[in-house]
Structure 1
Amino acid sequence: MKFTFLGSGTSQGIPIIGCTCKVCTSDDKKDKRLRSSLLVQSKNTTVNIDAGPDFRYQMLRAGVMKMDAIIITHEHMDHTAGLDEVRAFNFIQNKPMEIYATERVQKRLREQYSYIFQNGDYPGVPQVVLKTIDMKTPFTIGDIKFIPIKVMHGQLPVLGFRMGDFTYVTDANYIGETEKNLIKGSKHFVVNALRKKNHHSHFTLDEAIELTKELDVENAYFTHISHQLGLHAEVSKDLPKGMQLAWDELSIE
């Protein structure tokens, strides 16, 4: 399988509107971060994890011509605000887009996108089919198996996923022991590392590093990064072996 970071930034992205800090004004392309999203591709299947406000540009930049399904980790707008753009895939593929989410998240999507579910026959309205994720039950899309991993984002349950030897967790500040056991043995582990200063609902960089050491994974990639973390080049110099900051368009095969 191939995994591509379509976005590695936090809810505001980098640069932030109106900010003149050294990160937001950096010329390094690794400091330009769209909202967090992951493209998962096998030989026969293409799935996107989350569809935030940058979804359209992310699809164009990555040259994505086919999409079998979209998985939503949770209902925050930086992970859902691009769902209207599935209209393009409806047209190309001549079928509804399958959207995988928990029942709680589905309820919120019906509120956020009431026009989709109330006016489904209106020309130009996105065509979607909601598929329910049970947090305790693995599921398969095409030839890709997804193992849900329940993590906590403050008081909000959020889903991460293990796909073979690759585990992806965004928007978390707590992972229970049972869920940690699902991650152990991964060759590649992705986890959010918002900034260095404590945060009420995200891992800090130090917390992400300690978690990676505890899980004893071979390679770690930190994502959902804010401008407060610092310049990509400077932060990267101090990371332990086997750990690195993710960046937009980074691909792992």
Structure 2
Amino acid sequence: MTTVTLGPLKVHTVGGADRKGGGDGPAILLCHGFGAPGDDLVPLARVIDAGEGVRWFFPEAPLTVNLGYGMSGRAWWPLDLALLQQQMMEGHARDLAQETPPALAEARAALEACIEALVTHHGVRRDRLLVGGFSQGAMVTTEVTLHAEEPFAGLAVLSGSILSADRWRVASKRTAPGLKVLMTHGRADPILPFPSADALRALLTDAGAEVDWLPHAGQHEIPREALLRLASFARGCFLSATG
């Protein structure tokens, strides 16, 4: 693994011809969730068999957030942790469909600049680049994908959620038709409730995306079955890009 700066973001790179993200193979970019240290998804590159020569890129979110008790993590946009904890304790479902986080535009711009640097300096073709993430990372990559000028090979939404639904519905009319999407979500997810993911699935499907939908019995997590599905999904996306 090596760590580079692409656009405004620090990015951990593995795989490829030199095991450091080099070569000219297809690429996968995965974004972590809220509060993660920034490199927690990197080990997935060792357990997901996405094909020979695949390059992996793991951006760190631009913000540092205080998690309490002297701990900090990275975030694509801030969250009200006290409110989130209260909602979980009371069993209230979070409805993010009409929310547009104030920092979403900045997060999108940062990730778009990172991807542009991948294209310019690492020879990554957008039609051979699978983007996605976990939780908040899944939401920011959905935001970028639905507003992209050129299509990606696919989108992987791991425990994500619908967000800013009216904007996404409008944007999806242009970018979703034919888009390959993998969505996985736990039916018992206490943080991003299952219906929020199902609403995103419906929005994308209605707009013409080809959604591979994997609900599972878990909570806010990436279970083994999701890793296996991501491997086969990535292979299919890259095969289509070369076909």
**TM-score of the two chains, using structure 2 as the length reference:** 0.40
Which structure would you say has the larger Rg?
Answer: 1
